[in-house]
Structure 1
Amino acid sequence: NQRSLQNFISKTFQKRKMAHTRISMYLPPNINPAQADIAYGCWALPKLNKELQSEDLQTRQKALMALCDLMHDPEYVYEAVDIGCLESLTALLKDSDTLVRIKTTEVLCIMANHNVGRTSFLEHDIILALSFLLNDPYSACRENLHQVYKQLAQLPEGARGIINSGLIPSLVWKLPREEEDIQELILDTLAPCLQEDATEALASRAVPFLKQKLLSDNANIRSKAARVLTAISIPLEGKNQVKQHDVIPILVHLLKDQEPEVQANAAGALMNAAVTTEGKYTALDADAIEPLLMLLHSPVTKVRLNATKALTMLAEAPEGRKRLQTQVGTFRVLELDNNVTVRRAAQIAIKVIEWKP
């Protein structure tokens, strides 16, 4: 028995001597030291909301980092609104720390991607709260807030909320002064807002600013500026200002742009501007008919549609109708277009062109 015990001890010692470090097949846990620990289950958001109100800067920062991850889930967005996170985030928009302001606007930006977030913003007056950061010295903060405005403007009530908050003059004034990425966001916000009401934009000299953007080297800015001009020229005052500021010749030039979206939006703006008699003759003097006829052969439906409607406006003038009478065959082809809206527009164009007093 004693000999067996000695053999056992000897073998055990040999095994320990031969032991080596084993590397696990599994990755280590992903621990972010800059992010707050998320509590389990239903305690997650209440704990983070409490930390958002902490007097300790690092605690607030970590809580915001964690919220950025959670807010991608619409269920968490709903719960966050329900427990009062929006009130905490609104207070943090005025925080003296740059990172806190940036991450707060980022959280709101993520929430704005969900319908529940957008509707909650309208109920909690987030539009006005964000407006205090329009002049924030950090572009990341401003870009996030303009992303929120862009998302809100997609809803009719959101566009009206921006208008009713008196922000249109500020957005117009910011347009030529911001970085290009932010300019695009502002234009995306203005277009649906001005479809609701263009009064404040017209009073803020928006048309000259938009005219300048039509000449941009950035195709996205040219396209979005033309889209905003389409909206701002819906009321009569907008049509008159487009004519007065010599925007129509630039729109005619953009009909030859390489980008289909620029062509489509330029044709749309030209269509609205040509509703008035002065607009019609200004477009005719700028030789708008030929480039518009070229766009009727575009593979892009929106381009064909807007070009057809713009030519219909020009055909209402005797000179325009006379020049288009030889092009009726082109419109006959469009009557067979795959898109029903284009077919209908072509039928109206033919009626106007063939009309005789």
Structure 2
Amino acid sequence: MPPDLNADDYCLATHEAWQFAARQMRTEEMVLFVNTKDSEESYPYFRNERHLKYRVPPFIHPQAPSTVSAAFGNFMYSKLVRTLSSPMLIVRQRSVAWAVELLSVGENRARCVAAGFVPILAGMLREKDYFIRENLALCFKHLAEAGQAVCGLLCEMDVVKGLVNMVASQNKTLRKNAFEALEALAQMSHLVRFELVKEGTVLKFLLMVINDETDQWIRQTGLEVLSKCISGGNYNVQALEELLAVNSVPTAIRFIQSPWRNLQESACRFLCLLCMHNTGKTQAVECRAVEKLIHLLNDIEPRVQALACAALCCITIDIQGKKDFVMIKGIPIILKLLDLTDEQLCLFDIALLLNVAEYPVARKELFQDGLVALREIIKTSTSPLMKKRAKQGLQQLHFDHLPHQFPYDKMDKIYLRGTPKPTRSLQDSYPPTQSPSPPSKSPSYSTKPSTSSSPVSILKRPTSPGKRQ
């Protein structure tokens, strides 16, 4: 008998209708002839007539209304190519939202790129509608995972400049999506990082936007974008000089004191990269960054502790940074963190110990307990790198002085107080030579000096009289 189409369960009624149609045709397969001229001419997978077979399953599970089958999805990409360029605003809005859903899946992302989504989305940067611009930034965020070739194509189409312009918007959601897209693109491709650095003004503008921002998540994402530009190869010096010229170190120190853990982590990473430059170390010492960072070493989050320790490793290369660390009583904290429970934190802590132990006062405080902790790491650790660093720490603690540097008291007198460095000549490097005593009277020698003999050089030892002939 035919199915009851007025039943409450529509999925079950549809299943019964399929079963009834299959029994009427006396087969379990229904063949559908698809003609590409009537459906999608431009889609590459359906250029010829094909037969699609649908087999009726023995039991069908109810699906969500938003579920789209694979057969229907094959027609999606070429349809979106047309609808994204529609003259109607509502059609473009829905098409961009649909494109975000497709690009979030890796398989669909590859098909979207093959269908020609990239130039169409790049051309939509001129849109004024906020809904379209918000979803457009998310599209570029997902396109960052498509590979280096797609990122290079986005740079050629000025997509990076368009995202930087979105950052200056008054719309909070648009700023957030634009920063996330820049972070994803900068992480994936060196071409994007070079695009942000080459003009010499983009990083300053981004830092200014971050300083004026009130949302913590946007601040964190913006700091991550700047950190990735600094850590890039071949142009990191230019990025460092650009950021250090606009007081980026005080900005990072201010964000370190934030109660948000994610923002603290990003600020510590940003400060660590800034202090790779000598100017960054000097600015960090002047802004008392050691005092702000040493409190994070007692944090409950190991990732915050590790990044704070890494920032201190860069700052304590400076002599005054070592002294500030000792004055704030940071030596006991170093000894407490020499634990194998977190290998990354322990490695950063040993590196900090190596830097601070160059200061003789700190070396004396670290000597007794530090030797015990480092020897325990050498015995119990299974990491060759950890053992190597621990052995370097033992060697550093046994040093009495540094042969390639002056003693620290003399360095303070010479470099900190402005006393001119003493100059030495070549003759000062050798002790004054005494004139040889006159030889004793004997029949074989004359008491008168010879007029033909040349004067003895101060750099040449004279021959003894017993060997003269």
Q: Smaller-chain TM-score range?
A: 0.7 to 0.9
Shift of 1:334: 1.8
**Equivalent residues of 1:331, 1:346 under 8 A apart:** yes
Residue in structure 2 matching 1:239, options 273, 281, 293: 281
User: 1:280 maps to which residue?
Assistant: 322
For 1:205-232, what per-residue CA distance to the aligned partner results, in whole angstroms no more than 9, with x for missing partners? 1111111111101111112111111111
Residue in structure 1 matching 2:138, options 97, 106, 109: 106
Q: Which amino acid aligns with 2:229?
A: C
| Secondary structure of 2:249 counterpart | helix
1:162/1:343 Cα in 2 relative to 1: closer, same or farther (>3 Å)? Answer: farther
Structure 1 unmatched ranges of 5 or more: 1-14
User: 1:95 maps to which residue?
Assistant: 127
Residue in structure 2 matching 1:194, options 230, 248, 255: 230
Residue in structure 2 matching 1:66, options 87, 98, 113: 98
Shift of 1:340: 2.9
Shift of 1:234: 0.6
| Secondary structure of 1:175 counterpart | helix
- State how many pairs are aligned: 338
Which entry has the higher C-alpha Rg, 1 or 2? 2
Shift of 1:302: 1.5
CA–CA separation in structure 2 for the residues paired with 1:308 and 1:102: 46
**Equivalent residues of 1:213, 1:222 under 8 A apart:** yes
**Equivalent residues of 1:130, 1:145 under 8 A apart:** yes
| Secondary structure of 2:396 counterpart | helix
1:21 aligns with 2:57: no
Give the number of the structure whose residues are more often helix, by fraction. 1
TM-score by length of 2: 0.66
Aligned counterparts, 1:39-78, within 5 A: 44-78=76-110
User: 2:374 maps to which residue?
Assistant: 331
User: 2:445 maps to which residue?
Assistant: none
Structure of higher RCO (CA pairs closer than 8 Å, 6+ residues apart) = 1
1:105/1:303 Cα in 2 relative to 1: closer, same or farther (>3 Å)? Answer: same
CA–CA separation in structure 2 for the residues paired with 1:193 and 1:343: 33
CA–CA separation in structure 2 for the residues paired with 1:156 and 1:285: 43
**Equivalent residues of 2:110, 2:146 under 8 A apart:** no
Moved more, 68-77 or 96-105: 68-77
1:20/1:156 Cα in 2 relative to 1: closer, same or farther (>3 Å)? Answer: closer
Shift of 1:85: 2.4
CA–CA separation in structure 2 for the residues paired with 1:75 and 1:252: 47
For 1:178-211, what per-residue CA distance to the aligned partner results, in whole angstroms no more than 9, with x for missing partners? 2111111112222222223222111121111111
User: 1:11 maps to which residue?
Assistant: none
For 1:267-310, what per-residue CA distance to the aligned partner results, in whole angstroms no more than 9, with x for missing partners? 10000111121221122222221112211126222211111101
1:161 aligns with 2:147: no
CA–CA separation in structure 1 for the residues paired with 2:5 and 2:294: 78
Q: Which amino acid aligns with 1:30?
A: P
User: 1:354 maps to which residue?
Assistant: 398
Shift of 1:154: 2.0
Shift of 1:102: 1.0
CA–CA separation in structure 1 for the residues paired with 2:167 and 2:107: 30
CA–CA separation in structure 1 for the residues paired with 2:84 and 2:189: 32
Q: Which amino acid aligns with 2:391?
A: Q
Shift of 1:72: 2.5
1:189/1:339 Cα in 2 relative to 1: closer, same or farther (>3 Å)? Answer: farther
User: 1:174 maps to which residue?
Assistant: 209
Shift of 1:253: 1.7
CA–CA separation in structure 2 for the residues paired with 1:159 and 1:344: 35
Shift of 1:175: 2.1
TM-score by length of 1: 0.86
**Equivalent residues of 2:145, 2:188 under 8 A apart:** no
The sequence identity of aligned pairs, in percent, is 22
**Equivalent residues of 1:175, 1:209 under 8 A apart:** no
CA–CA separation in structure 2 for the residues paired with 1:30 and 1:205: 54
1:266/1:151 Cα in 2 relative to 1: closer, same or farther (>3 Å)? Answer: same
1:127/1:268 Cα in 2 relative to 1: closer, same or farther (>3 Å)? Answer: same
CA–CA separation in structure 2 for the residues paired with 1:40 and 1:20: 25
1:295 aligns with 2:337: yes
CA–CA separation in structure 2 for the residues paired with 1:218 and 1:253: 15
- RMSD value over aligned CA atoms? 2.7
Residue in structure 2 matching 1:207, options 224, 239, 249: 249
**Equivalent residues of 1:254, 1:262 under 8 A apart:** yes
Moved more, 300-309 or 106-115: 106-115
CA–CA separation in structure 2 for the residues paired with 1:355 and 1:48: 70
**Equivalent residues of 1:147, 1:185 under 8 A apart:** yes
Moved more, 278-287 or 212-221: 278-287
Shift of 1:87: 2.5
**Equivalent residues of 1:195, 1:234 under 8 A apart:** no
Shift of 1:41: 6.7
User: 2:184 maps to which residue?
Assistant: 151
Structure 2 unmatched ranges of 5 or more: 13-61, 402-469
Moved more, 275-284 or 229-238: 275-284
| Secondary structure of 1:30 counterpart | coil
| Secondary structure of 2:212 counterpart | coil
Aligned counterparts, 1:217-228, within 5 A: 217-228=259-270
**Equivalent residues of 1:192, 1:231 under 8 A apart:** no
